[in-house]
Every structure is written in C-alpha cells, then in structure tokens.
Amino acid sequence: MVETKFERFSLKPFIIEAITKELNFFEPTEIQERLIPSILRGESAIGQSQTGTGKTHAYLLPLLNKIEPERKEVQLVITAPTRELATQIYNEVVKITSFSKEEMTAKCYIGGTDKQRAIEKLKSQPQIVVGTPGRINDLVNEHALIVGKARAFVVDEADLMLDMGFIKEVDMIAGQMPENLQMLVFSATIPEKLKPFLKKYLENPKFTHVAPKQATAAKIEHVLVPTRHRDKIKLVYEMLVGFNPFLAIVFTNTKKRADEVADALIDQGLKVGRIHGDLSPRDRKKMMKQINDLEYQYVVATDLAARGIDIKGVSHVINFEIPTAELDFYIHRVGRTARAGSSGIAVTLYEASDEDALNKLEKLGIEFINRDFVNGEWKDIEDRKRRKNRKRVADEVDAAVKSIVQKPKKVKPGYKKKMSQEMEQIKKRKRRLNRRGK
C-alpha cells in the first residue's frame, strides 16, 4: 500500500485503504490537518472555508472512522442544502465505507423521491444518513427515522441553508438529537443571521477559518468585457461560438433572466442546458445527468450551480451580470472552472454601474484583463481606470494652469484670446513633463 500522510491521524485501516486506493489523497489539506484530530476527539466545530478546500473529507474521514458497525441505529446525520450536494456527499460516503470489512449502512434522503417507499424501508435504520433538511425532518416527524441516539450532526453549506430557508428544518432535526451531540457546521461565510443558531447548539466550538491562499484558482484568466450598450445576449452568443468550449456555464442573477438567456441561445441554434430553482426535482436530476454525460456544451445557471454542485470539465465561465446579492458568489462561480490543476477562462460583462463591485473584487486579489470581443475577434483594450486617471490628470493640469495664469486687473481688448493661448502653452509643457516622468 502507498504510504500516505493521513496515517498519522491513527485512522482505521479501511479508511486509509479508501484514501490510497479510491480517493488518491497523499497529503491532508489545511482544513483537514486542522479539523480531523479535533473531530476524532468528539469536539464540535465550525469550519469556514471556500469550495475546493477539502472540507467534505475533513469531516467524513474522522466521522466514518467512529461508526460502530455492530450498532444498528442512526449514528451520523449529514444535511446539505441541495439535492445535488447531498447526493455527492452520499456517493463519497459509499466510496469510503465500501472498504470496510464490516457492513456499514448509509442512506440518502432528498426531496423529489418517494417518501412512502423510504418510510417502508426504514424498518431497519441506517447508520449514516445524508440528505436535505426538509426530507430528513419529514421522516423524523413521521417517527420513521430515529435520530435520538445519533452522536454527530453535520450542517454543510450553512449560509446557503440560511439563504434557502432551511435553517428551521435543521433546527428541528437537531432538537430531536441528544444534548451531548457533536455538531459540525461548515460554511463559506458566517452571516449575522446564522449566529443565533450556532449559539443555540454550539458551546465553545473549535472555530477553523481557512482563507484561500488566493481568492480563486491560479490558472483562471479573469477577463473584463464592457457591454457599451450592446445586446448582451447577442454578445454572449458570439463569445460562446468563438470559444467553442469543452463546457461553458453562463451565470445570471435570477431564474427569469436564466430562462431568457437560455431561450435566446437556443433560438440561435445552440443546444443549451439550464439549472435553476424553478426546475422540478425530476428535471433537475435529469439535467445534471445530461450535463455530466456531456450532452450539453453550454449551460445557463443561477448561483444554485455555483455552490455545492460538482460539474466536471468546465472550461469557460461567463458572468452575464455581476452577482448583486453577495459578491462572494463571483468566487464560487469562477471556481467551477480551473479545477484539479487545469486552466480556465472567466469572462465578466460589466457596465459603469459595476465599478464599486469590480474594485472590491480587485481588493480580494483578482487581476482582471481588459478585453473586448469585436467582429468575432478578441482585442486588448485600455484598462477601465486609465480613462478616469487621464481625466483626473487633465483636471489637475487645468487647476494648476488657472493658478498660474491670473486674470489681469485691467482688462484690455483681446485678453481672453491671449489668456487662452498662454494656458494652452502651459498645458502642453505640463503634458510633456508628465510624459517624461512616466
């Protein structure tokens, strides 16, 4: 067996085998390094980190290590805000537990599936439960799923849970669990509205904040394109055709706009998938399968796809508009590309009103390249700030000239023309000096 740096955590042999043979991990990520020991000790924790930091395995590895196969009751409950994310976590659980010589049972409970059938199958309780809060809470309320002896509860993507209105269900599930529960909350951000929930269930938790080394992956090229009163959908269509991507996602801020963009691109002859909250559970599941089976080269999505959904092979991301609800969503959106060391391109269409948002993104360390797409070709253009700087320098020159050229006390005929000529000569001299000084 290949030696791995996870062995120092004293994990069970089947976990180490899964790490080396299935997960192909060699060295723990920062959040795994910091959280695995404390989770093994049974401590509650809050983990704040962005997508792609390895947080899922930071809790799965130590918690699955603590499952007792002989106890045929629910020992671990993991909640996620979307069906897609819950399914992904469940699949990782199955990958790891398949290496155990003793049987470990895991079930995934999400909306859009047959609840009655799930209830009938719960005559024998699973040891590991993964699912969406609504469906898990329904099964608990029906007294079909018994969580009263569970030792650990994971709330993944807690800020998204809050945004989607699921914290109430999470609260109700937690209320059915033991007082000495080990609770693990993971979130990209810790908004104020989430703090009462954290305070209610977590007493002196370990808080781990893993700030990314940089805001986005190193191999993403961030391109800014000014809209300049052009038809944005036509511009996006032309860019997509020009890119001929392996897989491109176009992000919009609303479900309505996502449908508008998708319909317009379809009218232009492109085969376009779409992901947003108005799709039925069945349609969303079908769409995700089609996207992962590479049936679509283009996908239009809302921020639902930016968080917690793993779409492989995204080569290009286009921000049809800059996210307005939360600027962090820019990071999540562009994080869909340049994964696992590959490169990617993130194009953002912007208007003059987006200046504040762009400045904030630049303060996060994002370096934009200024380009335009004209007649099917990319061309480099001036930095959007350069024009402002030029105007500021011109204003400073005007102010300086006015302070030098004073209006004479006694006005003679033709003085305006003479003053104008003097000012123009001084301006020319100052411009020459400015150019030399650069």
Question: Can you give the three-state secondary structure of 139-167, one letter per residue?
Answer: HHHCCCCCCCCCCEEEECCHHHHHHCCCH
Measure the CA–CA gap between 428 and 91, rounded to whole angstroms.
70
212-247 per-position pLDDT tens digit: 555 555 578 999 999 998 999 999 999 999 999 999
Measure the CA–CA gap between 349 and 227, rounded to whole angstroms.
6
Q: Tell me, which fold does domain 220-381 have in CATH?
A: Rossmann fold (3.40.50)
Question: 384-404 vs 415-437: helix axis angle to the nearest 10?
Answer: 130
Asked whether the predicted pLDDT for residue 413 surpasses 90, the reply is: no
Whether 140 and 173 have beta carbons less than 8 Å apart is answered as yes
Whether 66 and 40 have beta carbons less than 8 Å apart is answered as yes
**Domain chopping of the chain, boundaries:** 5-210, 220-381, 386-437
Bridge partners for 372 per DSSP: 379
- Note the Cα 336 to chain centre separation in Å: 8
Helix, strand, or coil (residue 220) = strand
What is the average pLDDT score of the chain?
85
The per-residue pLDDT for 393 is: 44
Tell me the CATH class for 5-210: alpha beta
Helix, strand, or coil (residue 116) = helix
Bridge partners for 368 per DSSP: 222
Whether 78 and 156 have beta carbons less than 8 Å apart is answered as yes
φ, ψ for residue 101, nearest 5 deg: -70, -25
353-406 per-position pLDDT tens digit: 999 899 888 887 888 999 999 999 999 998 887 655 444 444 554 555 455 555
- pTM higher than 0.75, yes or no? no
φ, ψ for residue 148, nearest 5 deg: -65, -15
Find the mean pLDDT for residues 126-152: 96
Find the mean pLDDT for residues 412-435: 65
Starting from the edge strand earliest in sequence, which strands make up the sheet with 45-49, in order? Answer: 106-109, 128-131, 76-79, 152-155, 182-187, 45-49, 206-210
Name every residue whose Cβ is closer than 8 Å to that of residue 6 and which is 6 or more positions away in sequence: 15, 16, 19, 25, 28, 61
More confident residue, 389 or 209: 209
Question: In CATH terms, are 5-210 and 220-381 the same topology?
Answer: yes
The per-residue pLDDT for 216 is: 55
Whether 142 and 119 have beta carbons less than 8 Å apart is answered as yes
Could you tell me the pLDDT band of residue 172, with boundaries at 50, 70 and 90?
A: very high
In Å, what is the CA distance from 217 to each residue of 6, 149, 220, 314, 380? Answer: 25, 41, 6, 13, 23
The per-residue pLDDT for 391 is: 47
Measure the CA–CA gap between 97 and 106, rounded to whole angstroms.
9
The per-residue pLDDT for 283 is: 85
Residue with tokens 């104020």: 192
Find the mean pLDDT for residues 183-200: 88
Find the mean pLDDT for residues 29-38: 93
More confident residue, 7 or 400: 7
- Identify the weakest region by mean pLDDT among 53-67, 223-237, 307-321: 307-321
Q: List own/partner pairs for 137-144 with CB under 8 A and 24 or more apart.
A: 137/169, 137/172, 137/173, 139/109, 139/115, 140/172, 140/173, 140/176, 141/172, 144/118, 144/119
